[in-house]
A and B are shown apart, each in its own frame.
Chain A
Amino acid sequence: MARLELRPRLQHPAAWWLWGLGLATAASRTTNPVLLLLVVGVCVVVVAERHDPATVNPLPAFLVIGAVIVVFRIVMTALLGNGFVGQTVVVTLPSVPLPDWAASVRIGGTVTLESLLYAAYDALRLAAVLACLGAANALASPRRLLRYLPATLYDVGTAVVVGLTFAPQLLTDARDVRAARTLRGRDGRGVREMARLTVPVLETAFERSLGLAASMESRGYGRSVRSTTTSRRAATGLALAGLVGVLAGLYGLLDSSAGGVLGLPVLVLGALLAGSSLVVGASRDPRSGHRRDRWTWTATTTVLAGAVPAAVLVIASAGGWPGVVPSQQAQLPEVPLLAVLAVLVSATPAWFTPRPREVAP
């Protein structure tokens, strides 16, 4: 097996994002708690195995938010009820009488097991989707995707990179200014102090940004993107045509009396036109890159591993397999075996992908 051990490196970020989106699609199609917990488990395992140790792991924060959503939804359902009427009464809370204008709302009253389970399953689905996104964020930092912006957005991408570089410096500056104010006997709390902080901090930031602009200009910034008047006009034309198409398609889609059949194709066509304006507008000079991400067979396999559960669960929910949308009863829901296997397939990237480089202790 030693021959299969790959050189440590980071896998292509797009592969991890496509994998995460595939898994999120799968999770959004089912409310079966077993499947959803399995999806969360897959995310945790893959992140534990392949998370880049050089960056902060955002997955725990996503998991906490998911857990808070589940608890919040259950508590809200117990207090305010939901549109689901059940038979099994768990407990009857004292109810609060409300004025006429809020007659449709109830506070307290009977709490049924079915409505609680419905809320829990539904919230769990959202939590699982969040876990998939958190895993994608953890496995490939989204800022690594900035490199793949089309040439038309080169300027915008640069501004974001400048922002990403300046933000930590801003925080350091803010800490320094605050420390200086504390030394002068201010406690540095409250809105007024916060407002006082902004002026020196932003002054410094502007100073630095103008310095950066000067150095960018002196180094011939922006020469790598080629854009002519013709190409820009073509891009504008495509973008406007595409936007009009999108509007028309939306209208057709939402107002079924106005030709709902045409809605989706027109919408897709408009979106394609608008998207192509990004490609047409400018082109980039070919240049060599530093530590360019390579798309290898592991990346392709990772994307496929994410696509398998998505495909299986989309088919399952469309075909109405038993257990994909379980009934709200006090029993363990039926678990479709094929869906479980499909979700387990998506865990395989934890082993066949290259390991990220270890950080020197």
Chain B
Amino acid sequence: MMTGRRVIPLRWPAAVAVGVVGIVGLVAFTWPFFVTADVARDHGNDAPWLFAVLLGLLAVVCLAEVTAGRLDAKTIAVLGVAAAAGGGLRLLSAGTAGLEPMFFVVIVAGRVLGPGVGFVSGALAVTTGALLTGGVGPWLPFQMICAGGIGLGAGLLPVRAGSRVERWALAAYALVTGLVFGLFMNLWFWPFLGTGAPTGMGFVPGAPLQDNLAHYGLFYLATSLGWDLPRGVLNAVLVLVAGPALLRVFRRGARRAAFGVPVVFAPAPGRDAAPHREPAEPHDEPPVVPLHDAEHPR
């Protein structure tokens, strides 16, 4: 049942934009590993700020491309719910830094409503969380790109919707993304530490790739894994326990919103000639609840 699969279709310009921003994001995170010593020494202090500004701009451009002129009121409302759920969970978990169950909502939204919505809702959930907690800073663009990518990936996972495998695949995905998110998010400030990092764990400009990778690996093990592993496990467990029910909630919501159902104006018999909605393929579509019913929930 793929009613809401193409709520925000990713057309080729948007797909290219997301791809290029993904590449720039990857460069923004991994540049310390492949630049020469001169470049690293000259720009080591400015690069994180440069990339924060650049990624902020690119994330916004990317959002504009993905959503260009194609969001109707229902999509906005559903995105709002995803953003609110993500932001609210962020607000709840503000005391326990690292334990962020936010991704669990983003993953489910991306899974049900497609990669386009996954990307936008991931980016918006992070933004909403930051606005709610008053935590807007240079880390926000990096988080937006990462969370957007997580939602996008969840939409692209090659498992059949509603199958038994889906639950386990999503749980595994949640665990992996929880770890990878931390792995990448450290990288934006790690070169910053420079010689300030613990012995043998710092960024050495111009050192061979494997040296820096080894140093970073140790740094990750020593400082970050303790936060990332619980977060990944928590998200995976949440997906396992609540995933199927939540997927159903989102699918039902998407079906009731009846995305992509064309509005057809037809002369109706009798005096009630109000426009009504007709599903495009009656045998394939579920019974459509007219939108005005949603205002008076039963």
- The reply to whether A191 and B241 form a contact with Cβ atoms under 8 Å apart is yes
Q: Can you name the residue of chain A whose Cβ is closest to the Cβ of B201?
A: A105
Answer whether residue A171 sits at the interface, using C-beta atoms and an 8 A cutoff. Answer: yes
B237 touches A83 (CB 8 A): no
Residues of A within 8 A of B250 (CB): 202, 206
Number of A-B residue pairs with CB-CB distance less than 8 Å in the complex they form: 301
Residues of A within 8 A of B279 (CB): none
- Chain B stretch 1-46: residues in CB contact (< 8 A) with chain A: 13, 16-17, 20-21, 23-24, 27, 31, 34-36, 38-39, 43, 45
Select which of B13, B238, B294 is within 8 A of A191 by beta carbon: B238
Closest A residue to B128 by beta carbon equals: A163
B87 near A167 with CB under 8 A, answer yes
Knowing A102-B218, A163-B84, say if A141 contacts B134 (CB, 8 Å). Answer: yes
Contact of A167 among B73, B91, B120 (CB under 8 A): B91
* Contact string against A for B residues 52-81, beta-carbon threshold 8 Å, 1 for contact and 0 otherwise: 001001101101110111011110111111
Q: Given A137-B135, A162-B84, A275-B57, decide whether A212 and B77 contact each other with a Cβ distance below 8 A.
A: yes
Q: Which of A234-256 contact B (CB under 8 A)?
A: 235-236, 239-240, 242-244, 246-247, 250, 253-256
- Selected from B124, B222, B256, the residue in CB contact (under 8 A) with A160 is B124
Q: Is the CB of B65 within 8 A of A236?
A: yes
- Inter-subunit contact A160/B127 (CB<8 Å): yes
Q: Do the beta carbons of A242 and B61 come within 8 Å of each other?
A: yes
Contact of A166 among B81, B218, B234, B241 (CB under 8 A): B81
Are B63 and A156 neighbours in the complex by a CB distance under 8 Å? yes
The contact of B84 among A143, A166, A275, by CB within 8 Å, is A166
A209 surroundings in chain B (CB, below 8 A): 77-78, 80-81, 253
Contact residues in B for A84 (Cβ distance below 8 Å): 195-196
In angstroms, Cα B43 to Cα A195, docked, is 46
Chain B residue nearest to A161 in the complex (CB): B80
A195/B238 contact (C-beta < 8 A), A217-B291, A246-B54, A254-B31 known: yes
A211 to B134, CA, bound (A): 29
A182 interface hit (Cβ, 8 Å): no
Q: Are B16 and A240 in contact (CB under 8 A)?
A: yes
- The answer to whether B198 and A163 touch across the interface, beta carbons within 8 angstroms, is no
Quick one: which of B200-237 are within 8 Å of A by CB?
Answer: 200-202, 214-215, 218, 222-223, 234, 237
Residue B284 interfacial (CB < 8 Å)? no
Residue contact A152 to B68, C-beta cutoff 8 Å? yes
Which positions 126-155 of chain A face chain B at CB distance < 8 Å?
130, 133-134, 136-138, 141-143, 146, 150, 152-153, 155
Residue among A58, A102, A162 with most chain B CB within 10 A: A162
By the criterion CB–CB under 8 Å, are A82 and B88 in contact?
A: no
**A36: Cβ under 8 A from any B Cβ:** no
Q: Please, how many angstroms separate the alpha-carbon atoms of A206 and B88 in the complex?
A: 15
B272 CB-CB contact with A under 8 Å = no
* Nearest CB of chain A from residue B11's CB, rounded to whole Å: 9
A275 CB contacts on chain B under 8 angstroms: 57, 61
**Interface assignment of A40: CB less than 8 Å from any CB of chain B:** no
| A221 interface residue (CB < 8 Å to B) | yes
| Cα(A244)–Cα(B13), bound, Å | 12
Q: List 18 A-B contacts (CB under 8 A).
A: A105-B201, A142-B134, A152-B68, A159-B80, A160-B128, A162-B77, A164-B83, A166-B80, A167-B132, A171-B91, A191-B241, A213-B77, A214-B291, A215-B295, A246-B58, A250-B27, A253-B43, A277-B64
Q: Write the residues of chain B forming the contact surface with A, with a CB cutoff of 8 angstroms.
A: 13, 16-17, 20-21, 23-24, 27, 31, 34-36, 38-39, 43, 45, 49, 54, 57-58, 60-61, 63-65, 67-69, 71-74, 76-88, 91-92, 101, 120, 124-125, 127-128, 130-138, 193-202, 214-215, 218, 222-223, 234, 237-238, 241-242, 245-246, 249-250, 252-253, 256-257, 291-292, 294-295, 297
Give 7 closest A-B pairs by Cβ, nearest first.
A162-B80, A163-B83, A195-B242, A104-B200, A83-B195, A58-B134, A80-B198
Q: Besides A160-B127, A213-B73, 13 other CB < 8 A contacts?
A: A156-B120, A159-B71, A162-B81, A163-B82, A163-B128, A164-B128, A195-B241, A206-B250, A206-B256, A213-B78, A216-B73, A227-B69, A250-B27
